[in-house]
Chain A
Amino acid sequence: MIGETAFRDYLDELKKHTPYDFSEYSDNSIHRRIRKILKDYDITMQQLLEKTKTDEDFVEKVVEEITVNTTELFRDPEVWTSVYDKLYSGIKGKKNINIWHAGCSSGMEVYSNLILLSELGFLDRVKVYGSDINARMIRQAKMGKYALKFNLAQLKAFNKALKKKPILGISEIDFTKYFDFDESEDSLVVKEFLRKIPWFVKHDLVQEEVPFYNKFDIIFCRNVLIYFNASLQSKLFKRFHDQMFPGGYLLLGNHEGMSGFYKTKFSKNGPLFVKNNSFHFKY
């Protein structure tokens, strides 16, 4: 096992020689990811360091390995149900609804949400943005092409959940409206009309300024902050807060919470964090 100082030294070097800074990622997680890279590539820490300094393509691979890309269509079915029960009254009167999926990976959550927005009749009013640090994931998100078998099971599970607990009257979704299924290719492709709605951009949430001028009504950032240490988490809560309309909604992962100062700037409504109207607290 590589020592604790070795992986910290590596992160310092990575920061020095590349645009990437993982120094505020959660220790355990980053240490484990680096150990995995050493094992998968069968290289030593010294070799990893050399390659990082000299090989830009390799650095992109390291970033892909370090960042976690788990996402699913309609992940956590019961969360979607309770989210829309709470959200609906807040957004139904709006002319424009701005949504940001921060750390969107391959875009499955973005499309899942678009399908629900379509079913609920909001599609012509939404502006949807997806951002991720991983360029390969952004490319896949733009293509909207996923493996059929695994995802079909996800869709079925979601319809099953809907039947049990409908979302505002929707108890089943006909997914052939939204996807082209190709069994011979084992693929499922998001239809053109849906695919052209979101704007996907490669963006490092930690390092780069927010690349949008507009503020948001809803921000999804699910299972991204778990890879960051507490102080970096706080910075991002501030960033989200600044980027949201008062009354805007923030959805984190199932087992993510908010701590520190920004906890007082949001109220909890079911799984959603709602930005408080800060009018009274202005100074």
Chain B
Amino acid sequence: MFLKYKAVVIGGSAGSFSVVSKILSKIDSGFPLPVILCLHRLKHVRSGLLESINLKSNLEVIEPHDKDSIVPGKVYLAPSNYHLFIEYDGSFSLSTEEPLNHSRPSIDHTLSSAAYFYRDKLIGILLTGANKDGAKGMKDIADKKGFTIVQDPATCDVDTMPKMALRLMTPSKVMSPDEIIQYLNQLAR
């Protein structure tokens, strides 16, 4: 099967947990790309998020270790209190350097490094949130000719994050969560 894209990267903050859960519960179990998630999370609450996301997901969700290779069909969640990067050799790397946009993990860091590695073979999705994190990363993906989707602000719990992105770049599509699910599932059908 020929696939135009090699990875999906999703950023989200306030309100994004339920959207991500929905996407992963409706995504085809044979989804052929790796899905990399960078969600803002509470610093002192380490456990819980991974377990809750896994509960309904059709794909296995894991928190990657440093230098892990990226495998299609798996969902990778940026671990609490680390930045998650895609290395130049296509593996993951982690960092505890200073927070970016008051966030660690920072969505910009994950998105920008993914854009640099995957270039036009990347789908970047930015969901609901109350922060400007992710806007710059989405612009980097667009600049490398990747496919960019911003969640329709009208469907967001908090629309600051998508709006900040829309101010900085023009995405390939603005979509509701249902449309995002439909779009991802038709990629491989």
Contact = CB atoms under 8 A, between A and B. Distances in A.
Interface in B78-111: 79, 81-82, 85-89, 93-98
A54 interface: no
Interface string A2-46: 001000000000000000000000111101010000000000000
Contacts of A77: 44
Interface string A218-236: 0000010111001001000
B64 interface: yes
Contacts of A256: 65-66, 94
A226 B98 contact: no
A50 interface: no
Contacts of B89: 27
B96 A259 contact: no
A26 B87 contact: yes
Contact residues of A: prevailing secondary structure: helix
A259 B67 contact: yes
A29 B85 contact: yes
B46 interface: yes
B79 A28 contact: no
Interface string A232-270: 010000000000000000000111110100000000000
B87 A225 contact: no
Interface size class of A (residues with CB under 8 A): 20 to 34
Nearest to B113: A28
Contacts of A62: none
B93 A68 contact: no
Contacts of A4: 88
Contacts of A253: 66, 94, 96
Given A225-B66, A233-B67, A70 B97 contact: yes
B65 A28 contact: no
Given A28-B85, A255-B65, A70 B93 contact: no
B178 interface: no
A255 B86 CA distance: 15
A28 B97 contact: no
A234 to B, nearest CB: 11
A255 B85 contact: no
B93 A257 contact: no
A29 B88 contact: no
Given A28-B85, A28-B87, A157 B93 contact: no
Contacts of B94: 223, 226, 253, 255-256
A226 B95 contact: yes
Given A26-B87, A27-B88, A28-B86, A227 B95 contact: yes
B77 to A, nearest CB: 11
Contacts of A259: 67
Give the 7 A-B CB pairs with smallest separation, nearest first: A70-B96, A257-B65, A226-B66, A68-B97, A27-B88, A223-B96, A226-B94
